[in-house]
Structure 1
Amino acid sequence: MIDSDILYQLILANKDKCKGGKVADYIPGLKNANKENFGVCLIDNNNKVSCAGDYEKKFTIQSISKPLILMLAILDNGEDYIFSKIGMEPTGDPFNSIKKLETSLSKPFNPMINAGAIAVSSMIKGSTSENKFNRVLDFIKKISENPNLDYDEDIYMGEKITGNKNRAMAYFMKNDGIIEGDVEEALDIYFKQCSIRVSAFDLAKIGLFLANNGVTSYGERVITEHTAKLIKSLMVTCGMYDGSGEFAVRVGIPAKSGVGGGILSLVPGKMGIGVYGPALDSKGNSIGGYALLEEMSKILSCSIF
């Protein structure tokens, strides 16, 4: 475990890299992020916390919601049903690419790309759209151990207004039977889940939950050990968009990024890690967060390989 002073030095050492990144601007609201913000939080399995920088700054979770909602969908439907409709393979394409839907019989390659995540959102159980999203929100509250989480209404509306490509993917999948329910309802859940506001501290708590194979810090098992390992495996192979392979080589730990600037990461059996830095590289990953995790992995010999 690195103490807060060393984390602060890592923040300082990698902060200049943020200047070379760009905040996401294709969703109204995200472009207002301060690219100078940079924070990190580590929580080990003894609940020791080390933090530095803007670790309490709130931002929208975006694609980091994808492995989280997948856990709930597996609880609702079982693994076999989920993966009869969604694959487990990395794509090598951008997260919002639509081109392989047509060439793969409309089956999304994995749940970490937009098409796969929208399909997963359509599988959440509930009597109404509101009820389904509330189950998503309550689930993320439980595994983050933060009962005060909520979503950002402005970001949600921006997602909904600008989400034409996501809408096209969803209707494509509806046409071929991947999505069985109401398309607009599935999209509404997806846009809201991406708009949930978290901090690097919240991500570290979720990372610790996965590091401990689906058990919260107060001892409640929420998902099976098998499901936790499945989620971590998908994070390794698909979690950093089309930069996942390079990240596995350079950093070597399960991680999931989001264009809001967050990275959820973990060292299995040891710690959860949350990073925030809204300046992104060309693939949509936090440029400072990536560099910090790479350096930290070397210091702690974190790589699982």
Structure 2
Amino acid sequence: MEDLLNKAYEEGTKVAASGNVASYIPELEKGNPEDVGFVLMDLKGNYKARGQYLKSFTLQSITKVITLLLALEDIGEEEVFKHVHMEPTGDPFNSIMSFEVKNPEKPFNPMINAGAMVVTSLIRGEGKKEKIERILKFTSLLTGNKETHYDRTVYESEKATGNRNRSLAYFMKSTGIMKGDPEEILDLYFMQCSILGTCKDIATIGAVLAANGIHPVTGERVIRKENARIVKTIMTTCGMYDASGEFAVSCGVPAKSGVGGGILGAVPGRYGIGTFGPALDAKGNSIAGIRMMEYLSRKLELSIFQIG
């Protein structure tokens, strides 16, 4: 196993230089493209790690998993999916055209930006202050990291440059999809995306999902079994942006990526995986993270589509 993990890390470091850090959010452009790390955690909380696995990075779209789980816990499946579909899309995660032309009544799924903003707006709480406190507390519950907070500098950077997201929010407000003040919901969404975590943190979330809602360290149920199933399914079909189908074939692990360089993976009944590598491919996924997850999937037969 140790040699296999070393090789997985080596595979990630080989390809990291071929990607680029996210540049449309100025603070993310400061990331080191050579950073690579991962954690493989079993359902008892035991883990193996390599590289920069304790380096903090902003979770970005990985938080869409967290807020979807919280909304499902808050108001239930039926109410959540009145506001957002659960269908994959072949378009970029921040597309306006696909939303307006193809599916104007509600966003395709909770893993694209429009859908995630709607889901965030559904979380219980009076105003953004109470809601972000609930999101942070829920993130701590899932990760076991009591120091969970968001990076204010990244949040301000996203707020200053998030014009595409602002356009999506106001479009949804104009069609009646989004309830409430778009600026307040956007502010909350930018805070959410700026939450800091490590490979270990996201591997722990992956292990919670892999164990159908049971925390790997405490052994306590922290989310409903059915909600874990729903989220793993949506991760499989929609979690890797418009590369989700390709990733399902090459890796076959329910996963969610973020442009901060992280990928969260959940192998049902076996492992949580957290990878980090801020150098991204053209679709916004970590190049090193994908390579390491594909290698681990092949060698450990992790694909949920594995036969025999």
Is 1:64 matched up with 2:59? no
- Which residue in 2 is equivalent to 1:95? 93
For 1:301, the aligned partner's letter is E
5+ residue gaps, structure 2: none
Distance in 2, Cα, partners of 1:8 & 1:148: 30
Shift of 1:101: 2.1
Distance in 1, Cα, partners of 2:155 & 2:11: 34
Shift of 1:286: 0.4
Question: What percent identity do the matched residue pairs reach?
Answer: 51
Residues 241-275 of structure 1 show CA distances to partners (whole Å, capped at 9, x for unaligned) of 00000000000010000000000002101110000
Distance in 1, Cα, partners of 2:142 & 2:196: 14
Is 1:114 matched up with 2:117? no
For 1:268, the aligned partner's letter is P
Is 1:28 matched up with 2:26? yes
Shift of 1:75: 1.7
- TM-score norm. by structure 1 comes to 0.97
| 1:29 aligned counterpart, secondary structure | helix
Distance in 2, Cα, partners of 1:49 & 1:56: 13
- Which residue in 2 is equivalent to 1:55? 53
Distance in 2, Cα, partners of 1:14 & 1:132: 36
Shift of 1:22: 0.4
Distance in 2, Cα, partners of 1:165 & 1:274: 28
Shift of 1:106: 3.8
Residues 207-244 of structure 1 show CA distances to partners (whole Å, capped at 9, x for unaligned) of 00100111112122222111100000000000000000
Distance in 1, Cα, partners of 2:11 & 2:303: 21
Residues 166-190 of structure 1 show CA distances to partners (whole Å, capped at 9, x for unaligned) of 0111111112221111211111111
User: Which deviates the most, 103-112 or 156-165?
Assistant: 103-112
- Which residue in 2 is equivalent to 1:300? 300
5+ residue gaps, structure 1: none
- Which residue in 2 is equivalent to 1:275? 275
Distance in 2, Cα, partners of 1:148 & 1:291: 30
Residues 126-155 of structure 1 show CA distances to partners (whole Å, capped at 9, x for unaligned) of 122101110001001100111111110000
- TM-score norm. by structure 2 comes to 0.96
- Which residue in 2 is equivalent to 1:154? 153
For 2:26, the aligned partner's letter is P
Q: Are 2:12 and 2:287, in contact at CA under 8 Å, matched by a contact in 1? A: no
Large movers: runs of 4+ above 3 Å: none
- Which residue in 2 is equivalent to 1:265? 265
Distance in 2, Cα, partners of 1:144 & 1:96: 27
Shift of 1:7: 1.7
Q: Are 1:40 and 1:55, in contact at CA under 8 Å, matched by a contact in 2? A: yes
Shift of 1:6: 2.9
Q: Are 2:253 and 2:304, in contact at CA under 8 Å, matched by a contact in 1? A: yes
Distance in 2, Cα, partners of 1:29 & 1:14: 23
Q: Are 2:16 and 2:288, in contact at CA under 8 Å, matched by a contact in 1? A: yes
Q: CA RMSD in A?
A: 1.0
Distance in 2, Cα, partners of 1:128 & 1:89: 29
Aligned length: 303
Shift of 1:27: 0.5
